[in-house]
Structure 1
Amino acid sequence: MNAEDPRPSPDADASERAPPLSIVIPAYNVAPYIEAAVRSALAQTMRDLEVVVVDDGSTDDTPRVLARLAAALDDPRLRILRQDNGGLSAARNAGILAARGEFIGLLDGDDVWLPQKAALHLGVMTGDPSIGLTFSHSEYMTEAGARSGDILLAGKAHPSLHDMIRRNHFGNGSTVVARRACFEEAGLFLPELRSCEDYEMWRRILWMTGYEAQLIPRPLTLYRLRESSLSFDSRKFVGYADMAMAILRRDMPNVPERVMRAGHAEHYRIAAWKAVSCGRRGDALALMLRALALRPFFLFTDWRALGAAVAIAAPQSLRDVLASTVKALQKSHSGVKSIMET
């Protein structure tokens, strides 16, 4: 890191006391979005917090936007660090190491927290010391920042380790607030994982610590849908997914193989859906076949897998209709599960 260690010394003045919550914002080439992310973190109804932004070697206007924002806000709760580019995991790790709070929230530099998120998460976590990870529902927003009203609902309120291996119930990297102790006991994000890093991290915490995960059943994160998602590289995603699953298999030998296979197949299903959404039907078909090799009855047990398979086989005009239908079904299905399980 191109900065001195920002952590306070043991004899720091009482006025430098640690706030209960540190919000860590990794930022890489997010100049159009980073101001909204930082302002949303500082605008929490819970005021006793700090915001640690880690500029991960941005080559766009991100450093200048952050400098102007810091000068305009003049808020002592905001700290901005800069390091050479190391990837999302390395940026998050730098922020976690610099953070002073007992609780650490993660907010990607292109997403937004709604004002009550911090208070609601800490209200649950301070009341129950067994909870190490909290997460919320998310609402999609456009690249320009307009709220869509479409909600990504978590499927389970108290996902177990096996639940989380089968599927990422946290949704995205901007929903989570974790106890610092989780990282102290289980370690930090793996820098070698440039994707699926959160998938591996949350499962490692549930495996290595005694902490549990708890849903805050409200949409408290705004997740930005960016045009760059159209350039989704299925080969890279699958490569990192395979690496993450290999790590889990190595480190969690007591987890049944059927659970691991289900999680592995889910990665391939996600990649297949993204590939067909980008118009790469050949890649999507190959990925779906890999999913079915791991779970032969996948199409009959998971409506999302069936929807992806039908989309791969359908012409473009029908795929557009199916995409809208699946989206509506997903909202309805997830909503019913959330009501039943919360």
Structure 2
Amino acid sequence: MNITTTPKVSVIIPAYNAEKTIRETINSVLEQTYSNLELILINDGSTDETLELINEVKDSRLQVFSYPNGGLSMARNRGITHATGEYISFIDADDLWTYDKLELQLEAFKKSPEAGVAYSWTICVDNAGKHFHQGVKASFEGNVYKHLLVNNFIASGSNVLIRTEAVKSVGEFDITLKSCEDWDYWLRLAPNWKFVVVPKPQIIYRLSLGGMSSKVDVMEKYLLLVLERAFISAPLELQYLKSQGISNIYQYTSKLYFNQINTENAVQKASIRLWKGICLNPLNLLRKNTQVLVVKLLLIWLLTPKNASNIMKFISSVKAISDPRLRNS
């Protein structure tokens, strides 16, 4: 007699034209130290070799569903409809997990049975997968709503492990959002569910070196939209945080534009947003991240954008982390 074990964790990968990274992403899930999982891969209308590469994987835990292209949020929602686990996690088709990601997040739930969401620290990798850089390290737990209102410290849609009960309580990802849909989802979870953290880099977020200015413009538009919408429903006693949240958005997009300082247009956009952020919240000048951006701006004024860019790339490479899988982080 065959005994079927219901998977405890459902992992959802939305994949659209991800032939360059999809196998590595799948392996980072299937090689987890916690193995009682199902991997639900939503092929979101890929036109490259994504589906062929997926079909080469021989593991009974992998389920593949193909749909016409509907976008990231739609693909996640479709994955949720197939999920049977007690917990649900998402990972984008170009991101990676360390081997113990699920194991340690489940342990965090055991310590806090009332929690609905577990998250970990993130770390960033370049497109080549060679150089690693510090990501987001936050340690907020319990009621994290006010912290999420001013900053998406979860940092990545590939991060959280969520109780299925919590997923059902807030419904689907918003398919009208073309960016920042993950922050919107965490903000909907936070008022009613406690969060727990694994204080270890476990989410490896792949940076897009080919990011265009127009993409940053779109991200900024939706960051401001998500924030505005969140404060419509936020309680009166938290409304004072709104200017700080907007300031953080401008500082973040300023940083993204500074990464493209080889163009005069990007320098101008970065400078404007840095100034806006400081005006909205002058206390940001006490933060190291803001001070770094100010120094970058001074370098650009003193040097040509190209030379300033080269100096910053050199500094970044010196600080890069060389261990690609961070197994012992």
> Shorter-chain TM-score category?
0.7 to 0.9
Indicate the residue corresponding to 2:135 in structure 1.
Answer: 152
Indicate the residue corresponding to 2:125 in structure 1.
Answer: 141
AA aligned opposite 1:154: K
Q: Secondary structure at the match of 2:56?
A: helix
Indicate the residue corresponding to 1:191 in structure 2.
Answer: 175
- 1:15 is displaced (CA, Å) by 4.6
Q: Is this contact kept in 1: 2:105–2:198, CA < 8 A?
A: yes
- Once residues 180 and 129 of structure 2 are traced to their aligned partners in structure 1, the CA distance between those partners, rounded to angstroms, is 25
- 1:45 pairs with 2:30: no
Q: Which sits farther off after the overlay, 122-131 or 13-22? A: 13-22
Aligned partner of 1:288 among 274, 280, 283 = 274
- 1:319 is displaced (CA, Å) by 5.0
Indicate the residue corresponding to 1:227 in structure 2.
Answer: 209
- 1:17 is displaced (CA, Å) by 4.9
Using a 3 Å threshold, how does the CA distance of structure 1 residues 291 and 161 change in structure 2: closer, same or farther?
Answer: same
- 1:234 is displaced (CA, Å) by 2.2
- Once residues 260 and 299 of structure 2 are traced to their aligned partners in structure 1, the CA distance between those partners, rounded to angstroms, is 14
1:15-54: CA deviations, max 9, x gaps?
5553110111111221110011111111111111100111
Q: Is this contact kept in 1: 2:126–2:132, CA < 8 A?
A: no
- 1:309 pairs with 2:294: yes
1:312-340: CA deviations, max 9, x gaps?
34323345445666898999xxxxxxxxx
- Once residues 223 and 322 of structure 1 are traced to their aligned partners in structure 2, the CA distance between those partners, rounded to angstroms, is 20
Indicate the residue corresponding to 1:237 in structure 2.
Answer: 219
Q: Is this contact kept in 2: 1:232–1:275, CA < 8 A?
A: no
- Once residues 40 and 316 of structure 2 are traced to their aligned partners in structure 1, the CA distance between those partners, rounded to angstroms, is 38
- 1:169 is displaced (CA, Å) by 1.8
- Once residues 312 and 220 of structure 1 are traced to their aligned partners in structure 2, the CA distance between those partners, rounded to angstroms, is 32
- 1:298 is displaced (CA, Å) by 4.2
Indicate the residue corresponding to 1:251 in structure 2.
Answer: 233
**Counterparts of 1:1-342 in structure 2 under 5 Å?**
15-69=3-57, 73=58, 75-146=59-130, 148-158=131-141, 160-207=144-191, 209=192, 211-229=193-211, 233-279=215-261, 280-295=266-281, 297-315=282-300, 316=305, 317-318=307-308, 320-321=310-311
Q: Which sits farther off after the overlay, 26-35 or 161-170? A: 161-170
- Once residues 105 and 85 of structure 1 are traced to their aligned partners in structure 2, the CA distance between those partners, rounded to angstroms, is 21
Q: Is this contact kept in 2: 1:307–1:326, CA < 8 A?
A: no
Q: Is this contact kept in 2: 1:101–1:180, CA < 8 A?
A: yes
AA aligned opposite 1:39: N
TM-score (norm 1): 0.82
- Once residues 224 and 318 of structure 2 are traced to their aligned partners in structure 1, the CA distance between those partners, rounded to angstroms, is 30
- Once residues 179 and 166 of structure 1 are traced to their aligned partners in structure 2, the CA distance between those partners, rounded to angstroms, is 24
- Once residues 68 and 298 of structure 2 are traced to their aligned partners in structure 1, the CA distance between those partners, rounded to angstroms, is 44
- Once residues 221 and 210 of structure 2 are traced to their aligned partners in structure 1, the CA distance between those partners, rounded to angstroms, is 19
- Once residues 94 and 240 of structure 1 are traced to their aligned partners in structure 2, the CA distance between those partners, rounded to angstroms, is 22
Using a 3 Å threshold, how does the CA distance of structure 1 residues 113 and 299 change in structure 2: closer, same or farther?
Answer: closer
AA aligned opposite 2:92: D
Q: Secondary structure at the match of 1:256?
A: helix
Q: Secondary structure at the match of 2:102?
A: helix
- 1:56 is displaced (CA, Å) by 1.6
Q: Which runs of 5+ in 1 are unaligned?
A: 1-12, 332-342
Q: Is this contact kept in 1: 2:108–2:197, CA < 8 A?
A: no
Q: Which runs of 5+ in 2 are unaligned?
A: 322-329
- Once residues 197 and 34 of structure 2 are traced to their aligned partners in structure 1, the CA distance between those partners, rounded to angstroms, is 19
Q: Is this contact kept in 1: 2:117–2:195, CA < 8 A?
A: yes
- 1:92 is displaced (CA, Å) by 1.3
- Once residues 3 and 213 of structure 2 are traced to their aligned partners in structure 1, the CA distance between those partners, rounded to angstroms, is 47
Using a 3 Å threshold, how does the CA distance of structure 1 residues 303 and 76 change in structure 2: closer, same or farther?
Answer: same
- Once residues 185 and 328 of structure 1 are traced to their aligned partners in structure 2, the CA distance between those partners, rounded to angstroms, is 45
Using a 3 Å threshold, how does the CA distance of structure 1 residues 35 and 102 change in structure 2: closer, same or farther?
Answer: same
- Once residues 329 and 298 of structure 1 are traced to their aligned partners in structure 2, the CA distance between those partners, rounded to angstroms, is 27
* Identical columns (%): 24
